[in-house]
Amino acid sequence: MFFVCTFAVKMEKKQLEIIENAAEMFLKHGIKSVTMDDLAKGLGVSKKTIYKYFDDKDDLITKIVQTKTTKDKIVCEAARVETDNAIEALFKISEFVSNMLSNVHSSVFFDLQKYHRSAWEVMEEHKHHFVKSQIKENIQRGQKEGLYRDSINPEVISSVYISTMDGLFDGSTFDMDSLNFSDIFNEIVGFQIRGLASDKGREYLKTRNK
């Protein structure tokens, strides 16, 4: 928990409040479509107040992503220490991600990649290093518990997972007019867990789903 406390104390309460509320607006409506005027009006503050804490829109977006990735790390750590096995840990993390993606506008990741490269790079670094390491460790844990197949190569499968996430966020792999990020993500996770599970793991899933 130390890293998140260190990160948080560097920000004032009002700054964190703006980050949380602005994130909701950007995720719901898309990043490009929300101007700083829209943001000030929606948050009930002046633009002067926003610019007191953030250099510009790009700086705000970057700090939003940094805050979200920090929260992601907290959830992953909690899932690791508070669950009985690897399958439950993966479900706990997946539930958090699914809820986060449930109301995300289809343009968000495109906007992030095209117009806010610094924020995009923060997310990419988080995904390709932290998230990948968490998936790899989860696979290794599941193998030790006998819930995942021993024949699985954790390094390869964690890379496959990240590649699949890249496909989810690139905006062209899936039909976002008929599906949303949360629905697609849930299908990916269900497919992943069934593919990882050993005979013991499949029996556990049957018991869990009753």
Segment 4-21, tens digit of pLDDT: 444 444 678 899 999 999
- pLDDT tens readout for residues 91-117: 999 898 888 888 888 889 889 999 999
Residue type, 52: K
Report d(CA 93, CA 87) in Å as an integer: 10
Domains of the chain in start order, with CATH, are 2-208 (1.10.357.10)
- Give the pLDDT band (50/70/90) at residue 127: very high
Q: Residue-wise over 29-60: b if at least 16 C-beta within 10 A, else e?
A: ebbbebeeeebbeebebeeeebeebbeebeeb
Structure pTM?
0.85
**DSSP state at residue 148:** B
What pLDDT shows up at residue 188?
A: 87
